[in-house]
A = this chain, B = another copy of it.
Amino acid sequence: MKLITRETDYAVRALMCLANNQGMVMPVEKIVREIKLPHAFARRLIQVLAREGIVRSVKGKNGGCELAKNLDKIKLVDIMAIFQGDVCLNECLFKKNICPNRSTCPLRKKIRAIESLVLKELRSITLATLMH
């Protein structure tokens, strides 16, 4: 049961890499050299981050990318949302018919509560936190 997929993992690593070079535009090639991940995968990944406004990219020679926001504005949970969709720990175990009192169902409440806990924690993790 993975909370974070490898793609998110890579993305965060790449972002940390950019964070270490703030102010400079860094080509994907360089990121790939610093953190070990497949080249083509990295390309696509950065393209997505650029489209999502997490990084700013510069085309052409001497191009590359840099963080588009402040470290403390880039949340882990947002990166997760981009690559894995929203954090949603299963809406209802028992889809309709088994549970007669859906609105007051204790399990439903519990799962929701767990989700809130996880979200609260995840929201508190930013690139700034990670770089400490």
Q: How many copies of the shown chain assemble into the complex?
A: 2
When the two chains form their complex, are residues A1 and B110 in contact, meaning their CB atoms are under 8 A apart? no
**Nearest B residue (CB) for A96:** B36
A8-46: CB near B (< 8 Å → 1, else 0) gives 010011001000000000000000000110000000000
**Which A62-117 residues sit within 8 Å CB-CB of chain B?**
80, 84-90, 93-95, 97-98, 106-107, 110-111, 113-114, 117
Complex interface: chain B residues within 8 A of A84 (CB) = 1
A41 → B minimal CB distance (Å): 15
When C-beta atoms are compared, the residue in chain B nearest to A86 turns out to be B1
Q: Jot down 28 A-B pairs with beta carbons below 8 A, ordered by A.
A: A1-B3, A1-B80, A1-B84, A1-B88, A3-B89, A4-B89, A4-B90, A9-B90, A9-B93, A9-B94, A9-B95, A12-B93, A12-B94, A13-B93, A13-B98, A35-B98, A36-B97, A106-B129, A107-B125, A107-B129, A110-B124, A110-B129, A113-B121, A114-B117, A114-B121, A117-B118, A117-B121, A118-B118
Look across to chain B and name the residue whose beta carbon is closest to the beta carbon of A94: B13
Give the number of chain A interface residues (Cβ < 8 Å): 38
- What distance in Å separates the Cβ of A82 from its nearest Cβ neighbour in chain B? 13
A61 contacts the other chain (CB 8 A): no
A58 close to chain B: CB less than 8 A: no
